[in-house]
Amino acid sequence: MTETEINEFIVNSLKKNGSMAKGEIVDVINKKYPDVNNTSISWKLHKLKSQGLIQSPGYGIYSYHVKENVQWSISNSLKRYYNKVKKEFPYLQICVWDSRWFNSMMLHQPFKYYLVIEVEKDAAESVFNTMTDISKKVFLNPTEEIFNRYISNFNEAIIIKPLITEAPLLEQDGVTLASFEKLLVDCIADKDLFAAQQDELEFIYKTAFSKYNINVNKLKRYARRRSQLEKLNELLYKTTAK
């Protein structure tokens, strides 16, 4: 029994099962190699994960299929708007995102899209006033009526809305963006903003989890923050349960 043999056994077990809880991995190793203790198994899992040979999509869960981390496509307009707000409000927490990021995960492609700027609630109106100097197609935290009566007339619109505190964000190319985990929860919670995605939520989740590395713990933590954990769990059960 060598370390390489045990590592190969772990990887092959995950290949066969797709994903396994740590306790399940310990059980199958103990049956095959009864002399290997739990501390050694924990270290081997940590080492395999750090080498990129396996991944941990959730606490105590391991899988073989190493998925790619999402890299959002940042348009010139989105970056320009972000830089404009950061210049005017350098100490303001802000994130931006583009509704077209969902297009690759949808069967039906929306013809209209939004560039969204999320900022601290107290500053939203000030940011809105600043952005109206750039475009007249700017809307502040629009209601369903505003979406239907006005925004639907534009192929592109800029939306300013309050940023939920403790929302999971990411940095890419010097721009603070909404993380995948944040957007997956938001498309459940903000049905008006994500109207085009509502009929395809299950397909979006299936595609997202099959292609990308999603942090389930971060996803659930933010869902709990937005009081959407029950709905999220239902969707996860339908789309990712093995």
pLDDT in tens, 60-106: 888 876 678 889 999 999 999 999 999 999 999 999 999 999 998 99
Q: What is the pLDDT of residues 111-155, one digit of tens each?
A: 889 999 999 999 999 999 999 998 889 999 999 999 989 998 889
Q: How many domains does the chain have?
A: 2
Indicate whether 221 and 133 sit together in one domain: yes
In percent, the amount of the chain with pLDDT more than 70 equals 98
For residue 176, list its beta bridge partners.
171
pLDDT in tens, 155-177: 999 999 999 999 999 999 999 99
Last residue of a domain, one of 40, 63, 86: 63
Residue 235's CB: how many other CB atoms inside 10 A? 21
Residues 24 and 144 in one domain: no
CATH number reported for the structural domain that contains residue 54 in this entry: 1.10.10
Say yes or no: 156 and 208 in one domain. Answer: yes
Q: What's the pLDDT at 159?
A: 97
Is 59 inside a domain boundary? yes
Q: Is the same domain home to 120 and 38?
A: no
Q: Is residue 71 part of a domain?
A: no
Residue 229 has pLDDT above 70, yes or no: yes
Residues 167 and 198 in one domain: yes
What is the pLDDT at residue 33?
87
Whether pLDDT at 208 is above 70: yes
Same domain for 59 and 82?
Answer: no
Q: What local confidence, expressed as pLDDT, does residue 65 receive?
A: 65
Last residue of a domain, one of 33, 63, 93: 63
Of the candidates 102, 105, 129, the one whose C-alpha atom is nearest the C-alpha of residue 117 is: 129
Residue 80 and residue 55 share a domain: no
User: What per-residue confidence (pLDDT) applies to 141?
Assistant: 95
For residue 201, tell me if it sits in a domain. yes
pLDDT at residue 211, rounded to an integer: 84
Burial (0-12, 13-18, 19+ Cβ within 10 Å), 103:
middle
**Residue 104 lies inside a defined structural domain of this protein:** yes
Instruction: Classify residue 100: in a domain, yes or no.
Output: yes
The pLDDT, as a whole number, for residue 36 is 85
Report how far residue 238's alpha carbon sits from residue 92's, in angstroms, rounded to the nearest whole number.
38
Give CA separation, 142 vs 28, 116, 157, 164, 169, in Å. 54, 12, 11, 16, 22
Is 32 part of any domain?
yes
Distance (Å, rounded) from C-alpha 16 to C-alpha 222?
Answer: 31
Residue 214 and residue 135 share a domain:
yes
Q: Are residues 85 and 56 in the same domain?
A: no
Q: Is 68 part of any domain?
A: no
Residues 231 and 242: their CA atoms lie apart, in Å, by 18
Domain housing 42: 3-63
On whether both 82 and 194 belong to a single domain, the answer is: yes
37 part of a folded domain: yes
Check whether residue 201 and residue 86 sit in a common domain.
Answer: yes
C-alpha to C-alpha distance for 88 and 126, rounded to whole angstroms: 10
Mean pLDDT value across residues 169-192: 96
> 89 and 45 in one domain?
no
Q: Say whether pLDDT at 242 is over 80.
A: no
Share of the chain above pLDDT 90, in %: 57
Q: What is the pTM of this model?
A: 0.76
